[in-house]
Chains A and B, each alone.
Chain A
């Protein structure tokens, strides 16, 4: 509500994007308007230069968490493109620039819009603003290189998008020789930004001690992309009209990155959320594994959607269940759309909230399932809609179990509640932590200005391995963060507490008695209880490094526990990763796979790091 004529700052910004890959949306119908929180966007020149501002042009525009730098490094001389001024009145009043494949400034608008939309999904689901490490901005480079790929580069804190020409002879639905920009695919942008966020939430997931870890990265990123797209109401409405209400029949909704698969000459979309009933026991390859996870969640989603829309169908058909031929009644489609969007949003929120309940290392599908169930149960214990049950069933059908849970009953799947006796003595210490965490939140909200993102560059390491297509974009070790005072205090408190524990006590609590504690990550949490009240809490990731002999040489692997602590200092859940020694066979296998050729011979030049996670967007399956 305005109180003075000077209050003109909007709450939201509307920006137009392609909701489906441009080739498929040539009809103009598959554009969407994304609504994101308004933030002022500054045009900047980059690092502080000696020349006066009047003599140089800006090279990027920056918000609080994200900045767009449009440089084309494909040729021998980098080409810098002018950044768009989205705050310009003329542009803002038309909801951003008109979607166009040939307008590079629209591409900048699109990556910004989808990236922010994705970040806001995480904000909303997690109940806090997710900053990247050190509160530095994530960079988006819409036309970084020439290639049919896109990836999150952890060292550069950037998402690099490639562009390429469609096959002349087998272009699929594209025009032969047409330039295709990966930055124009909503799915690819959302997928890559999700990698960046996951890297932030669980930095130790960058050690792939089993194929599940990489598969989880891929699957989760696809889940965010697909379900975010399912929240574009106009798009869903049109798709459901075409598919006569059946989500599964709509390729528009279930295909992932349709144009890119076609552009690559394969004739079909890159991936699809629909899958036959492949079980995880039947596949070992990481991308196939990830696809099973996506399929399981998608099945849970559409089962629930169908259940929720069953009554609408009954009403519309007078009980026969047979929809009339031809187009469905627009009111019916509208209601079905509402159900679809609502369910998709619930699924996405549930999946993101699960992060708080994941172990800090060595994620497996079973751990994710338990985290999902627990996250949802915390929010709505009764599961009236049956979404939770549907997902559990879909996972069961695909062989996704939590082995230690013993059964698929929800009670069994819920994370173990901490046995009080072991942790009871530390209640006071944890209360203090919660105090500090809430203090940190308050400090954060007051400190509205972001840290200056113009920190020193990291160099891109050149390609080392002959077998790799491109230089490694492998994840690196965790950097120390620049942080607020209260955050540092809390971190020190945690370290002090741990270091003061005698080895016997450490063992009793389930830690390694000897190893030091790595840099702890934490965040405060808020949850709504069954009574509707808000309770504060704290989630802490405690990680130690354990040494294991792999292939004859000692290697260090992170191992850790996530503690979910209540405001009273009681530990509500303990989520421990399986011990490193119990993963020895898996780890040996990863090492072996990385060092042998597909036909079984030891490679003369093994890949640099068999346990690194590769954040490239469009992977080739290992042959």
Chain B
């Protein structure tokens, strides 16, 4: 606990500094936390979606972080979940070699050993790798995948592409998080797969990396059913290469069962248009993409950092299942509602912040940050959600958006070039 000075004036040592980088459609936050043992630094996510670039490329982003750290080590790196728009920056391994990281926190679903308890995780991992395999080196969707989506309308195709890009296994980034990063003395960073104790809920822990800070873990929930919004996709054939979906897929029945093409009558019981329509019922790439999207959002860490009298609510991109768990549990809800500062989930979309939480549970006038970028198309329509912003205004919550930063007294100050916003949080 930082020693409380009796003075009523704001003392620099009593403030947490948060820098929200304008990465576009993504998240990247650098926290400076005052502790009795000096300042500690925490990085929460580092990435953006290639279709939603902000002021930085991956290289530029990590370089900026390095500059801002000025050779100080990072005490904690948090990757809330494995979506590209939160971890693409971790893939710059060359640059990360020079940054010393004490601890890395990930959701437990990212732990390779977790699949022993939950075999379905391996299947999801397979899907992520398959999604990765759909993209060629130039960052274009492969022909087979395009063909698989061809039955859909262009809006849905674009939405599927957006989600599939986000869900790629991103081997360098994940590898870096799991094994790459090192501490100052050369040893590998300590990995924490949260929550570490999955028998009780919610859990909390402290760590020597952040002395005096209590970390509350409100998500992801241990129950797999709460971590996805759709059933696991049935057509597991995608697990071994989603591309096969669009290839001239042989019917599962060999030729001897089929009516040869030359013997087909010209007028058939179903017209070709009807059959094309039936084909839309396929559990195809679009569906797999949506399922994976829901799964990865569902694995988001939801943390409340208790620092002095500050409570920072960091929900990553947590969706319905996680929020229902929080709302249903008295302790978790109390902890979340006690927040004195909020990072708005999933770039301000409709499925990451319950309306009832904003209107009834969260205190009034709690400051917030939203790392977001507006965009076109089915997927990005409604991000950030106007109704959510209105609700926040109604509650008197001062908030700042990364894509439209403005100075707010006692809360934040954007950089002159709009590349980041610096916030202060009293503790």
Binding site for B on A (CB under 8 A): 45-51, 55-57, 59-60, 67, 69, 71-82, 104-105, 139, 141, 143-149, 156, 160, 162-170, 177, 179, 263-266, 454, 457-463, 466, 469-471, 597-605, 620, 623
- Chain A residue at minimum C-beta to C-beta distance from B251: A79
Query: Are the C-beta atoms of B279 and A46 separated by less than 8 Å?
Result: no
With A170-B119, A461-B277 as known contacts, state yes or no: A598 contacts B351, CB within 8 Å: yes
B179 at the interface (CB under 8 A from A): no
With A599-B354, A601-B350, A601-B388 as known contacts, state yes or no: A466 contacts B159, CB within 8 Å: yes
Report A-chain residues with C-beta under 8 Å of the C-beta of B235. Answer: 146-148, 164-165
B283 at the interface (CB under 8 A from A): yes
Query: Are the C-beta atoms of B251 and A72 separated by less than 8 Å?
Result: yes
Report B-chain residues with C-beta under 8 Å of the C-beta of A169. Answer: 119-120, 122-123, 126, 236, 239
The answer for the CA separation of A104 and B232 in the assembled complex, in Å, is 27
The answer for the CA separation of A169 and B115 in the assembled complex, in Å, is 10
User: What would 13 A/B residue contacts be, using CB atoms closer than 8 Å?
Assistant: A57-B265, A74-B282, A79-B253, A149-B281, A164-B283, A165-B234, A170-B123, A460-B277, A463-B152, A463-B280, A598-B320, A601-B350, A620-B231
Query: Are the C-beta atoms of A81 and B153 separated by less than 8 Å?
Result: no
B220 to chain A, nearest CB (A): 15
Among the 9-residue stretches B106-114, B205-213, B267-275, B397-405, the one with 4 or more Cβ atoms under 8 Å from chain A is B267-275
With A80-B259, A80-B268 as known contacts, state yes or no: A463 contacts B156, CB within 8 Å: yes
Q: Shortest 10 CB-CB distances between A and B: which pairs?
A: A460-B277, A148-B234, A600-B355, A147-B283, A49-B265, A46-B269, A47-B267, A604-B382, A56-B265, A601-B350
Report A-chain residues with C-beta under 8 Å of the C-beta of B204. Answer: none
The answer for the CA separation of A458 and B263 in the assembled complex, in Å, is 25
Report A-chain residues with C-beta under 8 Å of the C-beta of B275. Answer: 71, 73, 78
Query: Are the C-beta atoms of B258 and A82 separated by less than 8 Å?
Result: yes
Query: Are the C-beta atoms of A466 and B378 separated by less than 8 Å?
Result: yes
With A74-B282, A164-B234 as known contacts, state yes or no: A623 contacts B126, CB within 8 Å: no
The answer for the CA separation of A600 and B353 in the assembled complex, in Å, is 9
- Chain A residue at minimum C-beta to C-beta distance from B356: A600
Query: Are the C-beta atoms of A623 and B320 separated by less than 8 Å?
Result: yes
A267 to chain B, nearest CB (A): 9
The answer for the CA separation of A266 and B224 in the assembled complex, in Å, is 10
The answer for the CA separation of A483 and B388 in the assembled complex, in Å, is 55
The answer for the CA separation of A324 and B278 in the assembled complex, in Å, is 55
Query: Are the C-beta atoms of B280 and A167 separated by less than 8 Å?
Result: no
- Chain B residue at minimum C-beta to C-beta distance from A596: B355
The answer for the CA separation of A356 and B257 in the assembled complex, in Å, is 44
Report A-chain residues with C-beta under 8 Å of the C-beta of B239. Answer: 167-169
The answer for the CA separation of A46 and B281 in the assembled complex, in Å, is 23
- Chain A residue at minimum C-beta to C-beta distance from B278: A73
- A79-B253, A147-B282 provided; 12 other pairs, C-beta below 8 A? A46-B269, A60-B269, A71-B270, A75-B251, A147-B287, A167-B236, A170-B120, A263-B234, A462-B153, A598-B351, A604-B382, A604-B385
The answer for the CA separation of A602 and B356 in the assembled complex, in Å, is 13
With A79-B258, A599-B352 as known contacts, state yes or no: A165 contacts B278, CB within 8 Å: no
The answer for the CA separation of A26 and B378 in the assembled complex, in Å, is 45
Number of interface residues of B (CB under 8 A): 75
With A59-B264, A599-B352 as known contacts, state yes or no: A604 contacts B381, CB within 8 Å: yes
Query: Are the C-beta atoms of B387 and A601 separated by less than 8 Å?
Result: yes
B198 to chain A, nearest CB (A): 19
Report A-chain residues with C-beta under 8 Å of the C-beta of B258. Answer: 79-82
A62 to chain B, nearest CB (A): 9
User: What number of A-B contacts does a CB cutoff of 8 Å give?
Assistant: 235
Query: Are the C-beta atoms of A264 and B234 separated by less than 8 Å?
Result: yes
B252 at the interface (CB under 8 A from A): yes
With A160-B278, A165-B236 as known contacts, state yes or no: A264 contacts B284, CB within 8 Å: no
- Chain B residue at minimum C-beta to C-beta distance from A164: B234
Query: Are the C-beta atoms of A59 and B280 separated by less than 8 Å?
Result: no
The answer for the CA separation of A461 and B259 in the assembled complex, in Å, is 28
Most chain B C-beta atoms within 10 Å of own C-beta, residue among A144, A263, A264, A599: A599
B376 at the interface (CB under 8 A from A): no
Report A-chain residues with C-beta under 8 Å of the C-beta of B266. Answer: 49-51
The answer for the CA separation of A75 and B235 in the assembled complex, in Å, is 14
The answer for the CA separation of A463 and B278 in the assembled complex, in Å, is 11
Report A-chain residues with C-beta under 8 Å of the C-beta of B253. Answer: 72, 79, 81, 104, 143
Query: Are the C-beta atoms of B120 and A51 separated by less than 8 Å?
Result: no
B337 at the interface (CB under 8 A from A): no
Query: Are the C-beta atoms of B257 and A105 separated by less than 8 Å?
Result: yes
The answer for the CA separation of A81 and B257 in the assembled complex, in Å, is 6
Binding site for A on B (CB under 8 A): 119-120, 122-123, 126, 147, 150-153, 155-156, 159, 229-232, 234-237, 239-240, 246, 248-249, 251-253, 257-260, 263-284, 287, 290, 320-321, 323-324, 350-356, 378-379, 381-382, 385, 387-388
Report B-chain residues with C-beta under 8 Å of the C-beta of A179. Answer: 252
- Chain B residue at minimum C-beta to C-beta distance from A603: B350
Query: Are the C-beta atoms of A147 and B234 separated by less than 8 Å?
Result: yes
A617 to chain B, nearest CB (A): 11
The answer for the CA separation of A75 and B246 in the assembled complex, in Å, is 8
Report A-chain residues with C-beta under 8 Å of the C-beta of B237. Answer: 164-165, 177
The answer for the CA separation of A162 and B122 in the assembled complex, in Å, is 25
Checking A51, A264, A602, A623 against B232 with a beta-carbon cut-off of 8 angstroms, the contacting residue is: A264
A476 to chain B, nearest CB (A): 15
Query: Are the C-beta atoms of B230 and A620 separated by less than 8 Å?
Result: yes
The answer for the CA separation of A602 and B355 in the assembled complex, in Å, is 10
Report A-chain residues with C-beta under 8 Å of the C-beta of B281. Answer: 144-145, 147, 149, 160, 162, 470-471
Query: Are the C-beta atoms of B257 and A82 separated by less than 8 Å?
Result: yes
Report A-chain residues with C-beta under 8 Å of the C-beta of B321. Answer: 623
The answer for the CA separation of A141 and B278 in the assembled complex, in Å, is 11
Report B-chain residues with C-beta under 8 Å of the C-beta of A60. Answer: 269
- Chain B residue at minimum C-beta to C-beta distance from A469: B287
B240 to chain A, nearest CB (A): 7
Report B-chain residues with C-beta under 8 Å of the C-beta of A47. Answer: 265, 267-269
Report A-chain residues with C-beta under 8 Å of the C-beta of B284. Answer: 146
Report A-chain residues with C-beta under 8 Å of the C-beta of B240. Answer: 168, 177
With A167-B232, A169-B239 as known contacts, state yes or no: A80 contacts B264, CB within 8 Å: yes
Most chain A C-beta atoms within 10 Å of own C-beta, residue among B251, B273, B284: B251
- Chain B residue at minimum C-beta to C-beta distance from A147: B283
Report B-chain residues with C-beta under 8 Å of the C-beta of A141. Answer: 278
Checking A144, A165, A459, A470 against B273 with a beta-carbon cut-off of 8 angstroms, the contacting residue is: A459
Query: Are the C-beta atoms of A45 and B265 separated by less than 8 Å?
Result: yes
The answer for the CA separation of A264 and B351 in the assembled complex, in Å, is 25
Report B-chain residues with C-beta under 8 Å of the C-beta of A457. Answer: 270-271, 273-274
- Chain A residue at minimum C-beta to C-beta distance from B118: A170
Most chain B C-beta atoms within 10 Å of own C-beta, residue among A80, A160, A603: A80
Most chain A C-beta atoms within 10 Å of own C-beta, residue among B237, B272, B287: B237
Checking B249, B277, B283 against A149 with a beta-carbon cut-off of 8 angstroms, the contacting residue is: B283
Checking A81, A82, A471, A603 against B280 with a beta-carbon cut-off of 8 angstroms, the contacting residue is: A471
Query: Are the C-beta atoms of A601 and B385 separated by less than 8 Å?
Result: yes
- Chain A residue at minimum C-beta to C-beta distance from B151: A76
Most chain B C-beta atoms within 10 Å of own C-beta, residue among A59, A160, A600: A600
Report A-chain residues with C-beta under 8 Å of the C-beta of B229. Answer: 598, 623
Checking B123, B153, B385 against A463 with a beta-carbon cut-off of 8 angstroms, the contacting residue is: B153
Query: Are the C-beta atoms of B252 and A163 separated by less than 8 Å?
Result: yes
Report B-chain residues with C-beta under 8 Å of the C-beta of A76. Answer: 147, 150-151, 246, 248, 279
Query: Are the C-beta atoms of A69 and B273 separated by less than 8 Å?
Result: no
B213 to chain A, nearest CB (A): 29
Query: Are the C-beta atoms of A57 and B264 separated by less than 8 Å?
Result: yes
A279 to chain B, nearest CB (A): 20
Checking B126, B155, B353, B378 against A168 with a beta-carbon cut-off of 8 angstroms, the contacting residue is: B126
With A597-B350, A604-B350 as known contacts, state yes or no: A75 contacts B248, CB within 8 Å: yes
- Chain B residue at minimum C-beta to C-beta distance from A77: B248
Checking B120, B263, B282, B290 against A265 with a beta-carbon cut-off of 8 angstroms, the contacting residue is: B120
